[in-house]
Amino acid sequence: MRKGERKPADMVLKIGARLTFFPLSTENGVASRVEDISGNKLMVAMPVDEKGVPVIPMPGEEMVCRMAGEGCYYQFRTVYLDKGKAPIPVWFVRKPEFVEKVQNREFVRISVDYPVILRPLDENGAMGGMIFTKAVDISGGGLAVMNETMLPLGSKAVLELDNIPGVGMLRITGKVVRCVKVAAAGDNVFHVGFQFLDLSRQHQNRLVKFIFDIQRQSLAKGIGKK
């Protein structure tokens, strides 16, 4: 199956399937489970936040949902409709027509323009001098930065980013997985792609939610122009 291939939701969503929703009211994803499927609605167990408080979105709120698969996850957008109790507290959300299969190693990537402090690591793990640069794209699994010199594939660096909305400051070790020479404003520069090595699950969830929020805002702007 090709990466990103869509599948009919009825082939994937089954009663008992474990889901993770990313509502606006929470910083991280919240866990749930499919309790029933009826027509164009899913009845799912009501998620709770990190303090055990039930999460109740506003009716009509759009959100992203993920479901784990074998060597992949499935992703779709849905809309919160209502809550109920049958026989446990539940959400009613819109059932999608299709879901998208995404390999676990893949994350949605967006273009950004954030300042980054890059500190290369030598073979012994000692940090070199600070390089002030900027990120050109970011995902839940890595980012790419501009750099004036080539960095060897497999080499490592400490990356510091600040003021990402909903995420805060990140200080991460990354491994160079891509280094491409590009022309920018007449000067030769490199786009260096890093894979995150020690990003916590909590920060990764926040980063993924930030990326989804940016996508949703872009989609809303596009709809508004029509």
Any idea which of 52-66, 100-114, 126-140 has the lowest mean pLDDT? Answer: 100-114
Distance, CA of 209 to CA of 226 (rounded, Å): 26
% residues pLDDT > 90 (the chain): 39
Q: Are 101 and 1 in contact (CB under 8 A)?
A: yes
> Do residue 93 and residue 142 come from a single domain?
no
CATH number for 183: 2.40.10.220
In a domain, 80, yes or no: yes
d(CA 118, CA 141): 17
Rounded Cα–Cα distance for residues 94 and 91 (Å): 10
Same domain, 120 and 185: yes
In a domain, 226, yes or no: no
Q: Residue 107's closest CA among 213, 212, 2?
A: 212
Separation CA 100–CA 4 (nearest Å): 6
Q: What is the pLDDT of residue 223?
A: 37
Integer CA distances (angstroms), 17 to 69, 135, 177, 197, in order: 10, 37, 34, 29
* Max CA separation in the chain (angstroms): 66
Tell which of 86, 102, 118 closes a domain.
Answer: 102
Domain of 167, in residue numbers: 109-221
In the DSSP assignment, the letter for residue 211 is: H
Q: Where are the alpha helices (DSSP H) in the chain?
A: 9-12, 201-225
pLDDT in tens, 92-101: 999 999 998 8
Do 119 and 163 have their domain in common? yes
Which pLDDT does position 205 carry in this prediction? 77
CB 9 within 8 A of CB 47: no
Residues 86, 54, 23, 99, CA torsion sign: negative
Instruction: Say yes or no: 130 and 75 in one domain.
Output: no
Q: Among the three residues 102, 122, 138, which one is the final residue of a domain in this structure?
A: 102
Residue 26 lies in a domain: yes
The string of pLDDT tens digits covering residues 117-148 is 999 998 888 888 999 999 988 888 889 999 88
The least confident of 60-69, 105-114, 123-132 is 105-114
One domain for residues 89 and 143: no
Q: Is 82 in the same domain as 167?
A: no
Number of structural domains (the chain) is 2
Per-residue confidence (pLDDT) for residue 117, from 0 to 100: 94
For residues 29 and 65, give the distance between their C-alpha atoms in angstroms, rounded to a whole number: 9
33-48 per-position pLDDT tens digit: 999 999 999 999 999 9
Mean pLDDT of 55-82: 87
Q: What digits encode the pLDDT tens for the residues 11-39?
A: 999 999 999 898 876 656 788 999 999 99
Based on the fold, state whether residues 18 and 85 are members of the same structural domain. yes
3-state SS class at 133 = strand
pLDDT average, residue stretch 138-164:
89
pLDDT single digits (tens) 171-215: 999 999 989 888 655 567 889 999 888 888 778 777 877 877 776
pTM over 0.85: no
Q: Please say which residue of 102, 117, 134 terminates a domain.
A: 102
The distance in angstroms from the start CA to the end CA of the chain is: 34
Domain co-membership, 213 together with 161? yes
| pLDDT value of position 87 | 84
pLDDT of residue 26: 67
Residue 4 has pLDDT above 70, yes or no: no
Q: 21 with 63: CB under 8 angstroms?
A: yes
114 and 178 belong to one structural domain: yes
Examine the pLDDT at 167 and tell me if it is beyond 90: no
As given in the structure block, the two tokens for residue 136 are: 């050109």
Q: Are 128 and 40 part of one and the same domain?
A: no
| 136 & 39 share domain | no
Q: How far is CA 35 from the centre of its chain?
A: 25
Strands 62-69 and 41-45: unpaired
pLDDT of residue 221: 52
Question: Which residue, among 100, 99, 82, has the nearest Cα to 91 in the 3D structure?
Answer: 82
